[in-house]
Amino acid sequence: MAKIVSNFFISLDGVVERPDQWHFPYFDDEMGAAVGRGVEATTAFLMGRRQYQEWAEFWPNHGGGEDAGFATFINSVPKYVLSNTLTQATWQNSTLLSGDPAQVAARLREIKERADGEIAMSGSATTVRWLLANGLLDELRLLVHPIAVGRGQRLFEDTPTHPLRLASHETFKSGVLNLTYVPEAA
């Protein structure tokens, strides 16, 4: 059975929006290795509409240089897209999951049961909140950066309480914390 794993670059003040504006000064070999281990375990990818549209526009036409490996991976891996506004998902190996939230949750449970490895996602605070609320998120992996961004969407804003348990942690030389949490059983 697969597990759904969410990955975030996050600031000390909980901001997950626009990491491209604050994340890169902290990216080093240690973080690259941690991200690489996550990609190696990924057998499918889960994304919301916004990320799907951005990545479907970019990755099929991008594959040169140091991004070639990830481009090959993301273009070929099965992708599941959560959206009630998209009418089709045309990017290679993409499946649209839409409709009644309870039916979508049941469909995701079926996908998890049939698959092995990790169904990964990167970003999408809205999707993570929905997964937690529906008991579908198995791990929340946070790369906590030693910076207070001050503004932007936070991972948890005006959300119900979700008890989490720290499953693993490490500190990088850059000061970034690599934290993995799992939801506590209700």
pLDDT band, residue 70 (cuts 50/70/90): confident
**What is residue 41's predicted lDDT score, i.e. its pLDDT?**
85
How many domains does the chain fold into? 1
> CB atoms < 10 A from the CB of 152, how many?
15
CATH number at residue 100: 3.40.430.10
Task: For 104-146, write each residue's pLDDT tens digit.
Answer: 999 999 999 998 999 999 878 889 999 998 999 999 999 999 9
Task: For 26-61, write each residue's pLDDT tens digit.
Answer: 999 999 899 888 888 899 999 998 889 988 988 888
Q: Is the pLDDT of residue 76 over 80?
A: yes
Residue 120, domain extent: 3-183
Q: Is the pLDDT of residue 185 over 80?
A: no
Cα distance from N-terminal residue to C-terminal residue, the chain: 21
Q: Is the pLDDT of residue 5 over 90?
A: yes
